[in-house]
Structure 1
Amino acid sequence: MDPLDDQQQAARDWFEALRTRICAAFEAIEREAGSDAAFTFTPWDRADPDGSPGGGGVRGQMNGAVFEKVGVNVSTVGGRFSPEFAASIAGADVDPSFFATGLSLVAHMANPHVPAVHMNTRFITTTKRWFGGGADLNPAIPNDEDTAAFHARLRAACAAHDPTFYPRFSKWAEEYFYLPHRGVSRGVGGIFYDHLEGHFDAHFAFTRDIGEAFLDIFPKIVRARMATPFTEEDRQRLLEFRGRYVEFNLLYDRGTLFGLKTGGNIDAILMSLPPLARWT
């Protein structure tokens, strides 16, 4: 992979720094629960199909008392898209060379009253350059207070940059995180955005604020619910909900497809899958 330019390096540095802070925050919650669980970090390298170095990343995973399974991955990869895949990526139809750096997070929680969560932010370069990402809450047992708090924090982050962002991006999330074969949403929504291009500084600032918003609100929700008593019926409800999560990520998720099509680390790509799930 060629040396990174200033924009690519700045994005990579931010994603790696945010990963470190998120992991520390999640480990602190485990300490509060009396657990000594900690993240294990596994580096991986990617080879471009032509044999040249293609970058790589670090897969971070923790299995604890509160976070039954959480992955926080950062990857920075480059190379050339296959001709078939290039046709579906903005700017790659002109030149299939690409660069991508980003953070991807999925947390599956032990207590059914604590919502699972997904957060991803990324910067992609082809003949165009853009930021994308988002965050969405996925409770097996929805709680209106948690849903309102999560959306309010994302709404505030969006409003600081553009009054149209939250209405546009929350609707995009509602449409994207949907399982058409079941006619249900994956969770209670959040925001989803893509192809923010043409204004690097402004869109990078927005992407950083989404990361900060997530780091602010999600630990608060976890702490509020992690000691809530639950029944075996609640646990079974959680496992069935996770089955829907698996279906979405394997059938529809763009990040999963992007990782597989660009030679990413299989364990990192599929870290979004829960440790246990149930279909009836």
Structure 2
Amino acid sequence: MEQEKARAAAWFESLRNEICTAFEGLEDALADGPHATQPPARFQRKPTKRDSGDGADAGGGVMSVMRDGRVFEKVGVNISTVYGTLGAAAQASMSARPGLSGLADDPRFWASGISLVAHMNSPKTPAVHMNTRMFWTPHGWWFGGGADLNPMVENPEDTAFFHARLKAACDRHNPAYYPRYKAWADEYFMIKHWNEPRGVGGIFYDDHCTGDWEEDFAFTQDVGRAFLAAFVPLTEKHMNSEWTGAEREHQLIRRGRYAEFNLVYDRGTQFGLQTGHNPEAVLMSLPPVAKWP
């Protein structure tokens, strides 16, 4: 499995590079709007380390963050490869997963992935989230990930476009994947204490292991590629549009809902904090500015 781990980690890094290049291209392409006259922003990269608590090498990653841009108010594209032993809290949260009931006997783990959240200047341009990852323990391995769109006000045409790209990626591997993982996203991205969805969904999958590592890795790669095909055209479509103060106010309220979900329900946030990963990297997903009514 060592070769497979290395290939997965290398893929997540290459996808990070492709996304950062595409997003910087959007910064260069902005023609109109309140931010058009300022210089285009660029990603700043910063290494991160996981704190194992005992001084042992526990891996880490790289944060790539772009702030105060012409198109992006804040976007982070983080990669990490971490390993070690799962603590009691992480074991308890994962022990119900298929094949992982023996974690207490051998709690070693390895995890690698990419995580992206983009908060846009324009209320007309949807915020977005994407991640893909591979997780390994001596008891088994699995892939997880997905992408979901978070507009301030739903545009049905945009929703259909975004979902169609994700569906095409799923259908290349199994026509049952899209309806299954769309339904999972609809359930997962529900802000339960408000009984409202975080956005217009997408796909979400976890514990994905058919027993064929190559096929599952290929599926996860296609999900990553589909993200750019789904999101970049929507940004290009809306990023030059004007917006009002009232639309900005609504955007900030929706961001407050986004922050609530990530702090209360998000699996990645909980896992990162439970396993000692850099808090700055774990909380990268939070918006730079938000409001609550």
- Fold match by TM threshold 0.5: yes
Match of 1:110 among 115, 118, 121: 121
Alignment partners' CA distance in 2, 1:125 and 1:52: 19
Alignment partners' CA distance in 1, 2:232 and 2:276: 32
Q: Which segment drifts farther, 143-152 or 39-48?
A: 39-48
Partner secondary structure for residue 54 of structure 2 = coil
Alignment partners' CA distance in 2, 1:174 and 1:263: 29
Give the letter aligned to residue 106 of structure 1.
V
Alignment partners' CA distance in 2, 1:214 and 1:69: 18
Q: Is the 8 A contact 1:83 1:96 kept in 2?
A: no
TM-score, normalised to structure 1, is 0.97
Give the letter aligned to residue 155 of structure 1.
K
Q: Which segment drifts farther, 85-94 or 166-175?
A: 85-94
Q: Gapped runs of 5+ residues in structure 2?
A: 31-35
The answer to whether residue 269 in structure 2 is matched with residue 256 in structure 1 is yes
Q: Is the 8 A contact 2:129 2:149 kept in 1?
A: yes
Structure 1 residues 204-241: Cα deviation after superposition (integer angstroms, max 9, x where no partner): 00000000000112111100000111110000000000
Alignment of 1:111-150 (within 5 A): 111-126=122-137, 127-150=139-162
Residue identity over aligned pairs, in percent, reads: 52
| 1:85 corresponds to | 90
Q: Deviation at 1:85?
A: 2.0
| 2:106 corresponds to | 95
The answer to whether residue 62 in structure 2 is matched with residue 50 in structure 1 is no
Q: Deviation at 1:203?
A: 0.6
| 1:151 corresponds to | 163
Alignment partners' CA distance in 2, 1:159 and 1:8: 25
Alignment partners' CA distance in 1, 2:141 and 2:270: 20
Q: Deviation at 1:65?
A: 1.2
Give the letter aligned to residue 56 of structure 2.
S
Alignment of 1:1-280 (within 5 A): 5-33=2-30, 35-63=39-67, 64-89=69-94, 90=97, 91=100, 92-126=103-137, 127-197=139-209, 198-280=211-293
Alignment partners' CA distance in 2, 1:150 and 1:276: 25
Q: Deviation at 1:122?
A: 0.3
